[in-house]
Structure 1
Amino acid sequence: MPIRATADTVPGTTQPSLRKPPELDPEESLAGRQKVTTGNANVPYSKGKKGDALTIAVSCQGKGKITVAVRPVSVEASPAVHWSMTIGRGAPAQSRRMPAELGQALLTQE
């Protein structure tokens, strides 16, 4: 079952810049990265050590829909949606807070 999240703009706030992909937590190591782009893509990432968790952080901006699936990491995005991604490896999810980005995520921005 996909994890669903909706991104809304709150009046009086600014959204993060998409000039560079999201940052990882300090204890995570970089496994892959996609600079700002639009449209669909497969994003390669390096193998991790046995037992490492896979973390996927996505930033998106624009009207449309973006779907992220893992194995391999593939992205389907509306042409108007600009997005970037960072993939990391770190301690297993049981030993730390589980990010919403794990597994399969469906993100919709209206």
Structure 2
Amino acid sequence: MTKAPVLPDGKVVAQAVNATGNREMEIRGGIKAGPLSVLVNCQGQGTLTVSVEPVGLSFPLECVDGEVSSTFNQLSLKRARVHGTVSVTAPAGVRWALTVGR
């Protein structure tokens, strides 16, 4: 997980590379109306969960030893929020990388 997942287009607003365990990151500039993309890669045994607040998006990713698991989620938001956070909950043995963009 030495590189973050690549956002197909748009602006990166939160990113983490080669992370382990739990982490909460602020979405720079808040959450804007329109598409919000979340890309995650992980490796190791266990389930990683990503949550985006205050929009209520939450999804799991099953991580596997010896291979990289990936997911891409995008939602279209009708209204902006001044503040936003993305949180990752992961077992200690799971390495992960994340990119959030708009």
TM-score class, shorter-chain normalisation, is: 0.5 to 0.7
Q: Which residue of 2 aligns with 1:32?
A: 14
In the aligned structure 2, how far is the partner of 1:88 from the partner of 1:77? Answer: 21
TM-score of the two chains, using structure 2 as the length reference: 0.63
Q: Which amino acid aligns with 1:47?
A: G
- Count residues with an aligned counterpart: 71
Q: Which residue of 1 aligns with 2:93?
A: 80
Structure 2 stretches of 5 or more lacking a match?
Answer: 54-84
Give the number of the structure whose residues are more often strand, by fraction: 2
Q: Is 2:28 the partner of 1:46? A: yes
Percent identity of the aligned residues?
37
Shift of 1:32: 1.2
Equivalent residue of 2:2, what SS? coil
Instruction: Name segments (4+ residues, structure 1) moved above 3 Å.
Output: none
1:54-92 deviation line (CA, Å, top 9, x unaligned): 111000000011011111211110011000101100xxx
Shift of 1:51: 2.3
Structure 1 stretches of 5 or more lacking a match?
Answer: 1-17, 90-110
Q: Which residue of 1 aligns with 2:3?
A: 20
| Higher relative contact order (Cα pairs below 8 Å, separated by 6+ residues) | 2
CA RMSD across the alignment:
1.6
TM-score of the two chains, using structure 1 as the length reference: 0.59
Instruction: Determine which structure has more spread, i.e. the larger CA radius of gyration.
Output: 1
In the aligned structure 2, how far is the partner of 1:53 from the partner of 1:40? Answer: 25
